[in-house]
Chain A
Amino acid sequence: MPKRVLLGVLLACGLTASALAQEPKTGGVINAVIQPEPPGLMLAMVQNGPVQMVSGNIFEGLLRYSPKLEPLPELAESWTVSEDAKTYTFKLKKGVTWHDGKPFTAADVLFSIEMLKQTHARARNNLVQVDKVEAPDDYTVVFTLKQPFGPFLGIFEVGSMPMVPKHLYDGTDWKTNPYNNAPVGTGPFMFKEWQKGSFIRMVKNPNYHEKGKPYLDEVYWQVIPDAAARSVAYETGKVDVLPGGSVENFDVPRLSKLKDTCVTGAGWEFFSPLAWLWLNNRQGPLADKRVRQAIMYAIDRDFAKDVIWNGLGKVATGPSASTIKYYTADVPKYPYDPAKAKALLKEAGYKGEKIRLLPLAYGETWQRWGEAVKQNLQDVGMTIETIATDVAGGNQKIGDWDYDIAFTYLYQYGDPALGVGRNYVSSAIAKGQVFNNVEGYSNPEIDKLFADGAVATPDSKRKEIYEKAQKILVEDVPVAWMLELQFPTIMRCKVKNLITTGIGVNDGFKDAWLDK
């Protein structure tokens, strides 16, 4: 059974305590796969997945986060929060330099924030509650908020708020700045070479601010566009690390069984990718809550997990992944129950109207999942038409609300105020945009709960609010939640400490070492 084998490998080879306890060895080179090729490496300008993965080694944020999402020091060595929860004071680490030798100071933080507000959509949204940012001295930064903002300490990881060198960007045209293609950061590795279409090479930063780190001499990111070719590259020993999502899921059990191979599902806690089906609440049969509930009952999500995702991941219970704050399992349940689905469809008066299903064009696994869902829905009497499109075409259709059911998966960023609310509040309904409330769900009670939850204090109050929101949403089924996804990272067992935080591979390889 692939599932059992995989579990065994996970247990036997994951990041075990013994690996952590070993004394790190210095030197060596890691070859990792990156796909697709990043469009650039300037994290403040482009934030797609591959950019975050590579640039997380070059740039740094003020904080990083543990697998339990507790803030950890990075460029900020300490922080305090005022009693009214409106003033956050960060003490920056001294002796940090940019890769070109210039010191990193509070002026860089202030500049980065101003730049990110213009270039980084997520950072801009995260900073909306910030009234002012000041730097009383070179190593202190004070954020004053308009009102308390619960998830504020959760917005400082490198992908969400990368620090940018003011001396290289201030007063330049950011879009065409030559450092966009040869980035300068404070991170453990320095950009060295990029042969477009082939590889990106990074070398150890000898002046890194954490003494003794990084342990590796070099990291190569190899660009291999075909999923099967990526599997072969690992199989033939040409690459050492396949970050989560690099190979098709059906290849994971086979690769996991290879000699000296370790697999871990860790490192996704901050992102907590949750897959669901957008259900267009505006029109047709799906405007009826009973039809949406019928869809939840009709889909065999355990089958999807066990067969299509090879036992990886977890069946979702609602809008929050179980790994993020304020998650509750105490919500209405939707087990696989075709009979109940049929009854609900009958009650709602569904008469076989055609429903358009838009699968996600992210490769074979997603295509198979689309077929399985279509089969499930047809089994309960629904008429499903699959619309084939590429990613760009799919985004356009979803943004234009030109669909009935569409696959997606989104990151949750550790807190409902950062990654959950945006998909359900009515203020996030806007045509032409892809990742907000594209299902068109509108419920004043939910709007109020998410608005209150973001600014409520203390934590227990937030918990109460978000638990209530989850219950209401699960009852209403604005979208059909499928799985909490798990993208296993596959690597040679000699690679130690690759993943040490909740940000995983995107947090850089500063702790990684090779047990040669």
Chain B
Amino acid sequence: MLSFVAQRVVKGVIVLLAIVVLNFFLIRLAPGDPAVVMAGEAGASDQIFVKQLREKFGLDKPLPEQLFIYVKGVVTLDLGFSFRQQAPVSKLILERLPATLLLTLTAFAISLMLGVLFGSFAARFAGTFLDTGITVFALIFYAMPIFWVALMGILLFSVTFDWLPSFGYETVGANLTGLAHAVDVAKHLIMPAMTLGLFFMATYTRMTRASMLEVKRLDFVKTARAKGLSDAVIQRRHVLRNALLPVVTLAGVHSGTLIGGAVITETVFAWPGIGRLMYDALLQRDYNLLLGVFVICSAMVLIFNLITDLVYRLVDPRIEFAS
């Protein structure tokens, strides 16, 4: 197993470097650069000003040299400096990481738990009213754009009922500590986490249902039934466990995108996370910051893919690691 992991890590580093180089050029293909954006925002753009900004950002150097400087930095774990935000990129990302992880992990947990639960129920009671209800429910959240669900949630729970805060990570200026602070953050978390979670939940529900229905038809389930096992045990230990592999695969893919995947939710709910940092960096052409977020996101995808492969083994002991 160790050699399997080592091999995957080496491959991962190579892939990561390839991603860095590709992203470096992709970003520069977009029209406009940080100097143009900042000169525009300052409402003044004489030649000296734009030239100064380009020098400051290192954009006056030839492209290969810029790439060399950047890759050299990444290899030594230095993601560069955001001149726009006047801070090191790694500091900016680390500042936002806790909020993003809190949001996306909560959403991920909600979606996975509810998704598998609803999917199992739908499969267990396939063809019944409950199955139709769950399927329609899942379809609705799968089909509705996240921003729409978010805005409707705000309208209902913040504006109409005034139950939940409409934006932010905590009540600004309340200076809460301890449990009171945790409750406050949780209140702020409910709507964004549900908005994000419901979308993914719908996917897991449908995936679990379809997979379980497929497994249910297989011979070993008949054997289990012939052995006189109870329906609940068959569903849980035989059908669900065997049906989970595709769900694990999907969850692996989703978990890799957790860091950067919440752009819309974070924007609508003013959640101070990395998704929004990335979106702002893109609009402002903050190259170093954008590349930094991409590097972290790519690394996360690679790490979670590796974890997914390891989890396969736990879920299905028949799978072996090829070295």
Contact = CB atoms under 8 A, between A and B. Distances in A.
Nearest to B34: A392
Interface in B157-188: 158-159, 162, 165-170, 172-173
A223 B269 CA distance: 11
Contact of B172 (A222, A235, A236, A430): A222
A329 B86 CA distance: 45
A31 B172 contact: yes
B31 A40 contact: no
Contact of B173 (A29, A37, A196, A392): A29
Nearest to A180: B86
B92 interface: yes
Given A196-B95, A399-B36, A47 B83 contact: no
B44 A46 contact: no
A48 B167 contact: no
B43 to A, nearest CB: 6
B33 A121 contact: no
Interface in B266-280: 267-273, 276-277, 279-280
Contact of A46 (B42, B52, B92, B95): B42
Interface string B80-96: 01011111000010011
B86 A433 contact: no
Contact of B32 (A40, A48, A395): A395
Contacts of B280: 36-37, 225
B273 A125 contact: no
A445 to B, nearest CB: 24
A261 to B, nearest CB: 15
B221 interface: no
B121 to A, nearest CB: 35
Interface in A120-178: 120-122, 124-125, 175-176
B45 A197 contact: no
Contact of A49 (B30, B41, B47, B95): B41
Contact of B41 (A31, A48, A197): A48
Interface in B224-267: 267
Contacts of B271: 197
B317 to A, nearest CB: 44
A272 B136 CA distance: 54
Contacts of B48: 121, 124
A224 interface: yes
Given A195-B272, A435-B45, A392 B30 contact: yes
A195 to B, nearest CB: 7
B40 A434 contact: yes
Interface string A1-45: 000000000000000000000000000010100001101101001
Contact of B31 (A119, A229, A397): A397
A466 B273 CA distance: 50
A45 B53 CA distance: 11
A72 interface: no
A433 B53 CA distance: 13
Contact of B37 (A121, A201, A395): A395
Given A232-B158, A232-B167, A226 B268 contact: yes
A411 B43 contact: yes
B59 interface: no
B96 A391 contact: no
A206 B92 CA distance: 32
Given A46-B42, A229-B268, A435-B43, A392 B32 contact: yes
Contacts of A284: none
Contacts of A218: 173
Interface string A225-258: 1101100110110100000000000000000000
B172 A220 contact: yes
B275 to A, nearest CB: 10
B266 to A, nearest CB: 8
Interface residues of A, number: 61
A125 B167 CA distance: 41
Interface string A393-404: 111110100000
B33 A392 contact: yes
Given A197-B96, A232-B167, A433 B159 contact: no
Nearest to B41: A48
Given A48-B38, A392-B283, A396-B32, A233 B166 contact: yes
B285 interface: yes
B293 interface: no
A125 B46 contact: yes
B169 A238 contact: no
A358 B167 CA distance: 33
B117 interface: no
A408 B3 CA distance: 60
A323 interface: no
A197 B99 contact: yes
B44 A122 contact: yes
A332 interface: no
B20 interface: no
Given A121-B45, A125-B46, A393-B32, A226 B267 contact: yes
Contacts of B269: 229
Contacts of A233: 166-167, 270
B94 to A, nearest CB: 11
B283 A390 contact: yes
B46 A433 contact: yes
A224 B172 CA distance: 12
A207 to B, nearest CB: 23
Contact of A232 (B159, B172, B285): B159
B167 to A, nearest CB: 5
B295 interface: no
B284 interface: yes
Contacts of A396: 31-33, 36
Given A47-B43, A392-B32, 10 more contacts: A39-B38, A39-B85, A40-B84, A122-B43, A198-B270, A222-B168, A228-B154, A232-B166, A236-B159, A392-B285
The list of the 10 closest CB pairs from A to B, nearest first, reads A197-B272, A392-B32, A48-B41, A121-B44, A121-B49, A396-B32, A393-B31, A396-B31, A433-B45, A47-B42
